[in-house]
Amino acid sequence: MHPISRSVHLSRLAAFYPDCRDCPLRTDTGQLPRQTVERLQNTERRVQRKSLLTDEGVRGVYLNELTRQKADALASALAGLLWADAPLLGKTDARPRTGRTTGPSVVVGYDERTASPDIVTGVIAALLRMGCTVVDIAVTTRPCFCFTVAHVQASAGIFVTGAGCEPSWTGLDFVGRNAIPLSRGGELDRLEERLQHPISRPTRRAGRHRTFQAVVPYEAGLWKHFHALRPLKIVYGCPSQLVCRSLERIFETLPCRLISTDIPWRARNPLDQKDHDVVRLGETVRDAQADLGVLIDDDGARCGFVDEQGTAAQSQSITRLVAEMMLAEHPETAVVLEDSTFDALCGGIEESGGRPVGSGSRFAEIAQTMRNEQALFGGGDSGRYWFSETFPTCDAVLTIAKVLNLLSRSDQPFSQVLEHVIEAADPQRP
């Protein structure tokens, strides 16, 4: 925070600068016009966002709501929780001459939004000040970020992203050990509570900062899922160029053909048939006479599919198809279903030899349930599909691999495959 002149203070008030709503001097209106003062008073009486925390992380308009300083405070709060949960975490460094101790290790990454480099600067500075070891993977995707947290066995991770929001927004996503997300109703509530209290440095020593090239081991772990594919033509769209480049590298040696379509950064619903990007994807699929299309959201995890006719596929149909395919190879294992679709999918999972387990739709609930039940797969109607790798992972690239494996087992078009599962779910359907 820096002091400003009175003229700047009054000009910001007159311009309804958002940060003025929380300023203790906001009632000092000087000689501003009466109409402006009345509008300021009316604005102050409006319902304000009590917290930037959402169900799955932090989101806010860059600079207006979320700044580097606020990101610093959020990262400090997480570091405080890590030290509190493991006060004896510090271990003597392998170099006996220094006798230095290491604090909790935290993986830090950020997405491709223009605001992310500024916000991540505040995050890293806070973690180093709090004595944490920062594993910096720079710009990356959320699936690659989660993979890294599990791969390096970090205590936690912070991903700077505005996924799911308009381009002017930014935010923070948090994960704990084994890449289990922090969500409302659990650890994210503890983080918010920690923010309400002063946060002191747990150690007088600054943390350490190191970099890690995560994309190579991340993509290497995906290669094994793309095998025995027939020559399919796939149209895909994703605003993240990192996701697009990963797909292109993986498909270089495959018999399938990839066709890209430009997708802008914006809030969208990849499952909505009327969404502008879904419509564009469907048109490209029909024009290219492709076998299917996939729209990947900007988090690299959520995705929606369209068949060869350009018609959007229901998420719960994809869930059942993938679950049945995986249960054919691993019967009598658990499948986690979001509560909203449990009744609709439970019978089909049982018929396929699986054990359906219900779960809430929050990321932490699904990931923890999969871990507790040693589940094979998880999904529902959210467009997020979870797989049991070394940790419960939600990755659109992995989902694409499973759908392509499914289609490669027969010569039927995607629309007929989907029709069969819809008929099985509703025998009374004409």
Q: How confident is the model over 230-277, as pLDDT tens digits?
A: 999 999 999 999 999 999 999 999 999 999 999 999 999 999 999 999
How many C-beta atoms surround the C-beta of residue 354 within 10 A?
A: 25
Regarding whether 363 and 270 lie in a shared domain, the answer is yes
**Cβ-proximal residues to 85 (8 Å cutoff; 6+ apart), any chain:** none
The answer, yes or no, to whether residue 7 has pLDDT greater than 70, is yes
3-state secondary structure of 283: helix
Same domain, 233 and 268: yes
Q: Is residue 1 part of a domain?
A: no
Cβ neighbours for 20, distance < 8 A, ≥ 6 positions apart: 12, 13, 26
Tell me: do 292 and 397 sit in the same domain.
Answer: yes
Tell me, yes or no, whether 29 and 95 share the same domain: no
Provide the token pair at 47. Answer: 């319902």
Statement to judge: residues 201 and 264 lie in one domain = no
274/339 same-domain check = yes
One domain, residues 277 and 371 = yes
pLDDT digits (tens, 9 = 90+) for 33-84: 887 877 777 765 554 556 899 999 999 999 989 999 999 999 999 999 999 9
- For residue 427, is pLDDT > 60? no
* 3-state secondary structure (DSSP) of residue 90: coil
Q: Do 105 and 201 have their domain in common?
A: yes
Question: Are the C-beta atoms of residues 67 and 18 closer than 8 Å to each other?
Answer: no
Cβ neighbour number for residue 151 with a 10 Å cutoff: 19
Tell me how far CA of residue 190 lies from CA of 97, 184, 193, 366, in angstroms. 38, 9, 5, 19
State how many domains the chain has.
Answer: 3
Instruction: Please calculate the CA angle 377-381-385 and round it to the nearest 5 degrees.
Output: 30
Does one domain contain both 240 and 352?
yes
**How far, in Å, CA of 66 to CA of 80, rounded?**
20
pLDDT at res. 24: 57
pLDDT at 430 over 70: no
Give domain status of residue 50, yes or no.
no
Domain limits at 33? 6-45
In whole angstroms, what separates CA 369 from the centre of its chain?
A: 18
Work out the mean pLDDT of the chain and round it to a whole number. 90
371 within domain boundaries: yes
Report helix angle 414-425 to 315-329, nearest 10.
Answer: 90
Looking at residue 96, its pLDDT comes to 43
The pLDDT score that the predictor gives to residue 89 is 52
Question: Any idea which of 13-17, 194-198, 304-308 has the lowest mean pLDDT?
Answer: 13-17
Tokens of 96: 């006996």
Instruction: Please check whether residues 229 and 327 belong to one and the same domain.
Output: yes
Stretch among 66-70, 86-90, 151-155 having the lowest mean pLDDT: 86-90
Cβ neighbours around 413 below 10 Å, total: 15
CA distance 89 to 154: 12
- Can you give the pLDDT at residue 177? 95
pTM for the model: 0.85
Within a domain: residue 378? yes
257 three-class SS: strand
* pLDDT of residue 217 exceeding 80: yes
